[in-house]
Amino acid sequence: MKAKIIGLSLLIATIGLTSSTFAQDSKFAQTHPRRAEVNSRLKNQNNRIHKEVKEGELSKQQAANLHRKDKSIRTEERNMAARDGGHLTKKDQAKLNHRENNVSKQIGQ
């Protein structure tokens, strides 16, 4: 009985340490500089799209199309980061920036 309690205690402690480590890794990954820069641009583009719709410069259909493109970029960013332990490589960031530049040009037209 004592061995079961000790074993269960060790299991619970291990799960707690693993959860804590995952939380720290996850937080670091979300604030990684390359990811933060990509996500900041996506947030900025989202705000620009909303502003252009409000001002009548973009139709709701155009805005929906641009939002879909941004969502695709965000999904790709997450997939790239998942492949590399929560980080983006310089090559990944360059690819995402290129895609963001294309969407950005479409917002101001």
The model's pLDDT over 43-61, given as tens digits with 9 standing for 90+, comes to 999 999 999 999 999 999 9
The number of C-alpha atoms within 13 Å of 7 and in the hemisphere containing its C-beta is 4
Report the pLDDT value the prediction gives residue 22, as an integer from 0 to 100.
44
Whole-number Å distance between alpha carbons of 75 and 50: 20
**Total structural domains in the chain?**
2
CA-wise closest residue to 107 among 44, 17, 14, 15: 44
Low-confidence ranges of the chain (pLDDT < 50): 11, 17-25, 28
Residue 97 shares a structural domain with residue 85: yes
Residue 8 shares a structural domain with residue 47: no
Report the pLDDT value the prediction gives residue 91, as an integer from 0 to 100.
96
Residue 68 shares a structural domain with residue 80: yes
Report the pLDDT value the prediction gives residue 6, as an integer from 0 to 100.
63
pTM check: above 0.85 = no
Residue 61 shares a structural domain with residue 103: yes
